[in-house]
Amino acid sequence: MRFSKSLIILVLSASLAACGDSDNDEVEVTDPVMPVMSYEFTVQVTNLTNAQPLSPIAAIAHSEGMLWQIGEPASAALELMAEGGDNSELLATDFAMASSSAESPLPPGEQVTLMLSTEQLDSLKISLATMLVNTNDAFTGLNAIDVSSLAVNESLSRTSFAYDAGTEANSEAQGTIPGPADSGEGYNEMRDDINRVAMHPGVVSQDDGLTNSVLTSQHKFDNPVARITITRTQ
């Protein structure tokens, strides 16, 4: 709509210019143009874990919907991300007004900044999700954080918990973990766990009593696992 309106204005001003009435040009052109309001946010994520790289972080801007709910089965998009780190379907979530992905996994102790730009501020929420890759199906993130009242240059910070997608049993077995600890299988459409999203119980590891685990004490984690700062920049 806005595009076609400005086209009309361009045509109008062009025809006015053609009349040679150059004195009035500026007024005629600038007055009716509706500026497109743009709201911009940065999402900075810090990986707080010892040895759990975070898969490329997916962030979305939206006004409704949730990426997951405790007690409900994981969506297919969440399962794909939580088991294998593939965030493509999460980024394409139907209720997302804007989306952004980190280019690469986020190593422990490092941080990354993503940007989101929207044309709506009313009821605006930001969500993000990422896999702890040296696990079967652990993920972390934030769900529908309201940013509609943030002023320009104002920030909010949160820490995030480790969740379990509930779609793959936490066997920690060789061949089942996609991260560098195993380089095993990521996504598998079979659901052999409780099929509800819950908090993650943590990894056990071969050093703490799970003989068949490919993980070591290095891969253990505790809450919180990430720190997130959302800043409105425009």
Partner 1 sequence: MKALPLTLFAACAVTSLASQAAELDIKLTNLTQGLHFTPILITAHNSDSKLFSVAMPASTALQTMAEGGNLEPLMTEATAANSDMVANPAEGLLAPASSTMASLSTKDGNNYLSLTAMLLPTNDGFVGLDSWMIPAEAGTYTIYLNAYDAGTEANDELVVEGSGMPGTPGIPAAPGGNAGMNGSGVTSSETNMMVHIHPGNLGDDDLEAGMSDLDNTVHRWLNPVAMLTVTVK
Q: Which of 79, 83, 164, 182: binder of partner 1 (CB under 8 A)?
A: 164
In the complex, what is the shortest distance from the CB of residue 149 to partner 1, in angstroms, rounded to a whole number? Answer: 15
208 binds partner 1 (CB under 8 A): yes
CA-based nearest residue to 132, from 226, 230, 227: 226
* Interface characters, 213-232, with partner 1 (x: CB under 8 A): ---------xx---------
What's the CA gap between 68 and 8, in Å, rounded?
44
What's the CA gap between 200 and 139, in Å, rounded?
8
φ, ψ for residue 56, nearest 5 deg? -45, 125
In the complex, what is the shortest distance from the CB of residue 224 to partner 1, in angstroms, rounded to a whole number? Answer: 10
In the complex, what is the shortest distance from the CB of residue 72 to partner 1, in angstroms, rounded to a whole number? Answer: 8
66 binds partner 1 (CB under 8 A): no
143 binds partner 1 (CB under 8 A): no
* Interface characters, 165-204, with partner 1 (x: CB under 8 A): -x--xxxx---------------------x-xxxxxxx-x
In the complex, what is the shortest distance from the CB of residue 145 to partner 1, in angstroms, rounded to a whole number? Answer: 13
What's the CA gap between 35 and 64, in Å, rounded?
26
| Strand boundaries in the chain, DSSP class E | 39-47, 58-62, 98-101, 111-118, 125-131, 138-146, 155-160, 162-164, 198-199, 226-232
Q: Which of 97, 210, 229, 233: binder of partner 1 (CB under 8 A)?
A: 210
In the complex, what is the shortest distance from the CB of residue 140 to partner 1, in angstroms, rounded to a whole number? Answer: 12
Q: Considering the complex, state which of residue 56 and residue 141 has its C-beta at the smaller distance from partner 1.
A: 141
Q: Applying CB under 8 A, what is the total number of residues that bind partner 1?
A: 26
In the complex, what is the shortest distance from the CB of residue 34 to partner 1, in angstroms, rounded to a whole number? Answer: 35
Contact set for partner 1, span 117-136 (CB under 8 A)? none
Here the tokens at position 42 are: 């940065």
- Contact between 199 and 8 under an 8 Å Cβ cutoff? The reply is no
Q: Dump the DSSP string for 33-99.
A: PPP---EEEEEEEEE-SSS-PBPPPEEEEESS--S--BTSPPPHHHHHHHHH---HHHHT-TT-SEE
Residues that bind partner 1 (CB under 8 A): 70-71, 161-162, 164, 166, 169-172, 194, 196-202, 204, 208-212, 222-223
